[in-house]
Structure 1
Amino acid sequence: MSEKEVLDILGVKVGLGQHATVNFNVAKLHTQNSIDVPVIIERSKKPGPTVLITAGIHGDEINGVEIVRQIIAKGINKPKIGTIICVPVINVFGFIHMNREFPDGRDLNRMFPGSKNGSLASRVAHQLMTEIVPRADLILDFHTGGSDRFNAAQVRIIKNDIILSELAEVFGAPFIYYSKNIKNSFRSSAAKLGIPMLLFEGGKSFNIHTTITNTGVNGAKRVLNHMGMLRSKFKVSKPKKKCIRLLSGKWIRANYSGMFKAAVPINTFVEKGKVIGNITDPYGNFNHFVKAPNAGYVFNINESPLVYQGDAIFHISTKVEA
């Protein structure tokens, strides 16, 4: 078997037509028990692209983990050609403790590309970037909104990237949101290696939402089908609506503290001045109406019933691609 036919990942060699679950050794607990993240590898007998599918970079983003779990459970990760690598839970510490961050208090998605001699989060980022990511031709990374903020299903990409633009359209989420690569993020570090990434956002933390899950799974199927990797047993449905491309957005913040309730559902297009929510007090003496500052799509809503002054309560588009 030639070198190109063998995938060497985390010290394990996986040939064409083979499958393996390799342990990504993250760290040891205080009791010296090892914490391992399973890396699930499926290879076709026919060579082709390698797609890395990841989730759980934040431990509280359960819906992303559920999307990857379904991709594995349904056998979507067994490719017609090429290789599919799945890492369902990158931040296993946060997942176990129902916490967004690592035990060292750091946000893993701000620690890339990491360092082998750095903090715990930095070391995990380094190992991911050196041992797994370079094997990929494309990454599908699944996230959710945080802190009770429910994200509309969306794919985030940088603007003016032809490959990402085409793949995002194929994915078929309701929105494509142009956002810059954040310094020291997973997406930014992958881009520096020349590996394109579709970052999917949908739902909120500590929640599994059926519509969001279905959107993520169906989007992955469409991308794999587009790349000739999806087996014929799986049906691929076209998106019900054309993707809306959001060029920019604005956070609406609470002017008052109190009890909050949104008056419009997610994905709604609203006109300037429309009442989209209200903030009240518990005693029935105060009622503040939140109005849209401009016409646009509401693509994130804070679902917390209590908000403080300054809290982000809506994300609304300010410019849409014609």
Structure 2
Amino acid sequence: MKAEEFVEEKLKQLKGAFQGFIDEAAYQAKKVEIQNQSNETKKSAELNEKLLKLKNALDTGILTQTEYETKKAEWIAQSSHAELDTKARLEQQALEREIREREQKERQASQWLESAINQATKGNFSKALETLRQIPNGTEAYFQAQSKISEYEQVIKNQILEKQRIEKEKEELIAKSKNLVALTHNGKRVAAALVDKTIHIVDSVTRKITISGVFGETTFADGEFVIINLVVRNEDKKSRNISASMMTLIDSEGREFQTSSTAMTALTMSGEQKAELWPTQIQPGLDKDITIVFDIPPTAQDLKLKVPSGLFGQPAILPLSLAL
């Protein structure tokens, strides 16, 4: 294979490797290196050919021994200087490539650090730690990253401890509360109301100012709508009737709010959810989703759901703060 064809083949292989495996800077540096190596090989071959012709001139008497030795030394010296120049150039190219790679690594490390800090600012400390651990040792951002890692690990640890403390307090409060039970719902320990062998679990609570119908009509709250989605589970051995409209909502001032029939009708007409306007029956061992709506002052706080019992039973008072 000719030298030109060999170089062309090497460059083709390099181009293939470049596609997705090495960056543009590394590709260009390697390309120059291959071309320089090819040039040096070509120059060496040219020198050998010139020296061979010079020897023939000596052998045929065209040159004297002194002339031969002088010319030979001159050509070899010229070649040596060229080799030194090439070596220096290659070393400079290698240094420049190293500087580019270093700068690229520093930029990437700085970007990771900035991204991690932004993630932590948004409260996503786990993602921030994942990003920080990508920053390599030896970069300017590394030591700051290590400091942030320690800081964020402590934040996560404190969050876990605080969550455990709250969960423990919640469990203790539920245990002291009448007609409340602790259970796991949607992966969380929550309180649920136990009334007449039915368990009332709060699935979600939404606050709205308006409810829009399917035909474009809008129902406005006098204050603010509180939409509570419940899962009611019948633990009895017989069917149970649930009157969702009899449930009430109590705020921190002791005010007791009835369900809003207007809002519940509007919600049903919206097509989004089905509010229970009338008593509904639940068979033994089954769950039923029930939605109720209240219209309360926007300033009402510390809301509790009051679930009525039968004639001789006690109602359950379920704080929404414990139910979610």
Query: Structure 1 or 2: larger helix share?
Result: 2
Same fold (TM over 0.5): no
Q: Which structure: larger Rg?
A: 2
With CA pairs under 8 Å and 6+ residues apart, which has the higher RCO, 1 or 2?
A: 1
TM range (shorter): under 0.3
